[in-house]
Amino acid sequence: MPQRAPPRPVYLAHVVPGLESVAAYELRRRAPDAGPVRALRGFDERTSILALPYDGPPADLLALRTAEDLFVLAAEVEDLPGTYAGLRSLGEAIAESPAFERAATLALAQRRGRAPRRPTFRLVTRKAGEHAFRRVDLERAVARAVQAREPGWRLVEEDATFEVWSQLVGGLFVAGFRLTDSAQRQRTYKRVSLPASLKPTIAAAMALLSEPRPEDTVLDPLCGAGTLLIERAEVGRYRQLLGGDLDPAAVAAARENVGPRYKPIELRQWDARRLPLPDGSASAVLSNLPFGRQIGSPRELRALYPALLAELGRVLAPAGRMVLLTSEGDLLRRSLPPGLRLRQRLPVLVRGLPAAIHLIGRAAA
């Protein structure tokens, strides 16, 4: 009898809630041969998970810029009872999972080293929902199941060969091996950060939503530490990057983070309400606008937004696109000058705060 082909690896990408559709688009863009994307509920309101079957090179997925973390699935159980009997079922599922060994092999390959004589593993376990057992009981059950399957593995607290991450949300249990480290979400270029600095994964999503084109002149009028401009440079070609900020410390931070890369780029100190740019000179505008809860009082923002948006409307090219992040959605809509219209609003959590990405373009004549 012919042997069954092993199942395709399934990768688990953690994304910021609200960015699921953008992350799924990037997944398909980087891995067009991948299977259908499934959205899984995260263990808290700050986490969403996309499950992606893919048997191509893991490097394709490790390049995802909208993913906070990436894991490869080792075991999954649907409709797990919330009783202690459920913990026993969980152990059986890990012991019998056909994905476990391949997931461990992929995780080890990512370390670019050989397995030690006695591999070690650490656990990260999360739980949400009503269950008869505690999170620590879940963690112990996972540890016992892993050691039953791999008797030679030793459980440790730090510096492990493998990190086994698992979560139980309601009746859905998933476990996987971590492939990424903190550089995935924090980026190695972020040498200097600023208060209210934008998360790189959100900046990457905004860059993708701007419909990147090689002929783009990209403007960030409030560039802060330069995250949006760098992420736009990473997702596609462009003609020029332009950025500036009223705060000289922000401009210095952006220059430090940009370094000698991403040319041509121009970073200047300026007042975004009076940009030293010709009319219609920017084909794409990306900006993390001041939030009332982060920077600026409500009174200051009520004065800033109309002046800023009028200036952005002046420098936006006839077919240009604006992608703006703010929690001040009502103020943004009221401040739009004639000729600009809101095309799409994408709610998103920014460090636990509700905000939205706004896609703005020219109104039809």
**3-state secondary structure string, the chain?**
CCCCCCCCCEEEEEECCCCHHHHHHHHHHHCCCCCCCEEEECCCCCCEEEEEECCCCHHHHHCCCCCCEEEEEEEEECCCCCCHHHHHHHHHHHHHCCCHHHHHHHHHHHCCCCCCCCCEEEEEEEEECCCCCCHHHHHHHHHHHHHHHCCCCEECCCCCCEEEEEEEECCEEEEEEECCCCHHHHCCCCCCCCCCCCCHHHHHHHHHHCCCCCCCEEEECCCCCCHHHHHHHHHCCCCEEEEEECCHHHHHHHHHHHCCCCCCEEEEECCCCCCCCCCCCEEEEEEECCCCCCCCCHHHHHHHHHHHHHHHHHHEEEEEEEEEEECCHHHHHHHCCCCEEEEEEEEEEECCEEEEEEEEEECCC
Count of CA atoms in the C-beta half-sphere (13 A) of 140: 6
**Assigned token pair, 103:** 């997931």
Would residue 5 count as lying in a domain?
no
Query: How would you write 72-108 as a 3-class SS string?
Result: EEEEEECCCCCCHHHHHHHHHHHHHCCCHHHHHHHHH
CATH number of domain containing 342: 3.40.50.150
Q: What is the mean pLDDT of residues 258-281?
A: 96
- Are 124 and 153 members of one domain? yes
The residue ranking higher by pLDDT, 294 or 101, is: 101
353 Cβ neighbours under 8 A, 6+ residues apart: 291, 293, 294, 327
Residue 2 is assigned to a structural domain of this protein:
no
Among the candidates 183, 209, 228, a domain finishes at 183
Q: Tell me which residue of 48, 44, 56 sits closest to 23, measured CA to CA.
A: 48
Query: Given the structure tokens 């060994």, which residue do they identify?
Result: 101
User: Is 97 in the same domain as 60?
Assistant: yes
> pLDDT tens digit string along 126-185?
999 999 999 999 999 999 999 999 999 999 999 899 999 999 999 999 999 999 988 888
Last residue of a domain, one of 129, 159, 183: 183
**Residue 329 located in a structural domain:** yes
Length of the chain: 365
Tell me the backbone φ, ψ of residue 203, rounded to 5 degrees. Answer: -60, -40
101-119 pLDDT per residue, tens: 999 999 998 876 667 788 9
Count of the separate structural domains present in the chain: 2
- Looking at the structure, tell me whether residues 346 and 260 fall in a common domain: yes
Same domain assignment for residues 196 and 234? yes
pTM for this model (two decimals): 0.92
Instruction: Please tell me the predicted confidence (pLDDT) of residue 5.
Output: 54
Same domain, 143 and 233: no
On whether residue 4 sits in a domain, the answer given is no
In a domain? residue 354: yes
Which among 183, 217, 243 is the end of a domain?
A: 183
The CATH number that applies at residue 119 is 3.30.2130.30
The whole domain housing 251 covers 188-362
What number is the average pLDDT over the span 52-62? 91
Q: pLDDT digits over 334-349, tens only? A: 999 999 999 999 999 8
Cα–Cα distance, 182 to 179 (Å, whole number): 11
Do 276 and 145 sit in the same domain of this protein? no
pLDDT of residue 3: 44
If we measure between CA atoms, which residue out of 91, 268, 244, 260 comes closest to residue 166?
Answer: 91
* Inside any domain, residue 48: yes
241 neighbors 231 (Cβ within 8 angstroms): no
Judgement on whether residues 199 and 142 belong to the same structural domain of the protein: no
Q: Does 18 lie in the same domain as 136?
A: yes
103 with 205, same domain: the answer is no
Please indicate, yes or no, if residue 309 is contained in any of the structural domains: yes
Residues 170 and 38 in one domain: yes
Residue 3 lies in a domain: no
Mean pLDDT of 238-261: 96
Helix pair angle (200-209, 20-30), 10° resolution: 70
C-alpha 323 chain-centroid distance: 17
What is the C-alpha separation between 285 and 269, in angstroms, rounded? 17
Same domain for 269 and 176, yes or no, is no
Closest C-alpha to 282, from 361, 197, 203, 202: 361
**Judgement on whether residues 286 and 260 belong to the same structural domain of the protein:** yes
For residue 2, name the pLDDT band (cuts at 50, 70, 90). very low
Give per-residue burial for 209-246: e unless 16+ CB within 10 Å, then b: bbebeeebbbbbbbbbbbbbbbbbbbbeebebbbbbbe
Mean pLDDT score, 114-125: 88
Cβ–Cβ < 8 Å for 252, 219: no
Tell me the one-letter amino acid at 68: E
Rounded distance between C-alpha atoms, residue 322 and residue 286, angstroms? 6
